[in-house]
Chains A and B, each alone.
Chain A
Amino acid sequence: MKYTEEHEWLDVDDEGIVTVGITAYAAEQLGDVVFVELPEVGKTVSKDDEIVVIESVKAASDILAPLDGEIVDVNEPLADEPGKVNDDPEGEAWFFRIKPDDLSAMDDYMDEAAYKKFIG
């Protein structure tokens, strides 16, 4: 598992597909999530594109694409049950799966120990 400074977690599988969600820390900071707008499957994205919108009771925030690549799957049920982001942010409430152009770009991100230090 890798982590970004934007509080995303990235989980790469055997086929090199990366599942992306937000950390429990981020979900806690956001407060109750009431709306999630997901990207389209098949969309080609560049690193730092704003591809997911999360609205909490307080405000809207974005999730940025952590890597260049193609969106190969999105967690459709989240759109109907946005509260899952608060209930299980590091499990059921993943947002999308991305097939990166270059998997080695993952090396730029923090491991769990570094992320824990990052959030203090």
Chain B
Amino acid sequence: MGDALQRTALYDLHIDLGARMVPFAGYEMPVQYPDGVLKEHLHTRAQAGLFDVSHMGQVVLRGDGVAAALESLVPVDIAGLAEGRQRYALFTNDDGGIEDDLMVANRGDHLFVVVNAACKEPDVARMRAALEPLGITVKLLESRALLALQGPAAEAVLAEHHPGVRDMRFMDVETLPLAGAECWVSRSGYTGEDGFEISVPQAAAVALARALLADGRVAPIGLGARDSLRLEAGLCLYGHDIDAATTPVSAGLGWAIQKVRRSGGDRAGGFPGAAKILGEFSDPPAMRRVGLRPEGRAPMREGTALFDAETGGTAAGRVTSGGFGPSLGAPVAMGYVPAALAEPGTRLWGEVRGKRLAVSVASLPFVPAGFKR
């Protein structure tokens, strides 16, 4: 390590709330509060959870032709993204692998991009190298915090601060005053629940967080529950379920590549790895990301080898993230298996501490999404 860990604007608040802090992507972040991961997870599914996600990178792209310029880096329809809308996107590499996943919002006179904390520096470097020669400015925002309010009560809670949030649909973005500050609000998140992500000036972040936590329906939630929530929702974690060696179609993220960017589309290709990635729609890749339901109670963690037989054979695939799903009261996992074994219901065996334990391929998500479309 060596480098000092950074702290978000909410660090002192986390300590006040009794958080257990851990190093995460260069930051000291709350992994859990005194309630613990299980209760935090269930609270988010039942009411609302407040997450500090300020470690993620917030980037503003500005300049003429910015949408077309960003399309040179992502296989996603950015030019067709309406003002006030947000979309999931992927940075790809020349081999068709995924360099990061991100959110792109059209905020009228600029694009607002949110990237993973661990990928912040390479992502900014990638965008600067590709976009600055085209006259686009790439600005990593250092003075804004990012909060996520997630769960079925999120709308009612946030509406008490600004009623306008009730009119937002899933993936809408708006500028709204909250806690007296100009906030950039999107109706999105990464828990499978309805909810909002709120980019707030650092100076107002604690006031906004405290105002939200003052509502009896809101509890602070750490990274531990964030991970189990996104796993139950079947959402990929960068560096685990997707990385530079996995392709979008293999990862089950083909839906993120709109028709206009696919072969035959008006703006087909033109992004790194296009030939490989677009080719996989007609010539599917050997491995697929699937959901996995271990039949016993033992969790199957990341790295667990998957076999197509109870004894013998060679490893058919592996778990890329796994643990306990509190909403299901059972272990859940995701991983990659050969296409022939990817059908839901297929029985496989995961090797846990030298023993082969039965596991079934399952449809994703494990818990239905609560998005307001």
Q: Check: A55 CB closer than 8 A to any chain B CB.
A: yes
Q: Looking at the complex, which one of B297, B298, B323, B353 makes contact with A57 (CB distance below 8 Å)?
A: B323
Q: Check: B301 CB closer than 8 A to any chain A CB.
A: yes
A31 and B22 CA atoms in complex are apart in Å by 14
Interchain nearest-CB distance for A25 vs B (Å): 14
Residues of A with C-beta under 8 A to B37: 31-32, 57-58
Does A31 contact B299, Cβ atoms closer than 8 Å?
no
A97 and B301 CA atoms in complex are apart in Å by 29
Residues of A with C-beta under 8 A to B224: 31, 57-58
Does B353 contact A35, Cβ atoms closer than 8 Å?
no
Interchain nearest-CB distance for A51 vs B (Å): 12
Q: Check: A53 CB closer than 8 A to any chain B CB.
A: yes
Does A79 contact B297, Cβ atoms closer than 8 Å?
yes
Q: Looking at the complex, which one of A31, A53, A60 makes contact with B36 (CB distance below 8 Å)?
A: A31
Does A53 contact B228, Cβ atoms closer than 8 Å?
no
A58 and B299 CA atoms in complex are apart in Å by 10
Residues of A with C-beta under 8 A to B32: 31
Interchain nearest-CB distance for B100 vs A (Å): 25
Q: Check: B324 CB closer than 8 A to any chain A CB.
A: yes
Q: Check: B38 CB closer than 8 A to any chain A CB.
A: yes
A37 and B357 CA atoms in complex are apart in Å by 13
Contact with A along B282-318 (1 / 0, CB 8 A): 0000000000000001110100000000000000000
Contact with B along A2-41 (1 / 0, CB 8 A): 0000000000000000000000000000011011010000
Residues of A with C-beta under 8 A to B38: 32, 34, 57
A60 and B37 CA atoms in complex are apart in Å by 15
Interchain nearest-CB distance for B76 vs A (Å): 34
Interchain nearest-CB distance for A48 vs B (Å): 17
Residue of A nearest to B20 (CB): A31
**Top 5 closest A-B pairs, CB basis?**
A34-B324, A32-B38, A57-B37, A35-B297, A32-B36
23 pairs, A vs B, C-beta closer than 8 Å: A31-B32, A31-B37, A32-B36, A32-B38, A34-B38, A34-B324, A35-B297, A35-B299, A35-B324, A35-B331, A37-B298, A55-B298, A57-B38, A57-B224, A57-B228, A57-B323, A57-B326, A60-B299, A60-B301, A60-B353, A79-B297, A82-B297, A86-B36
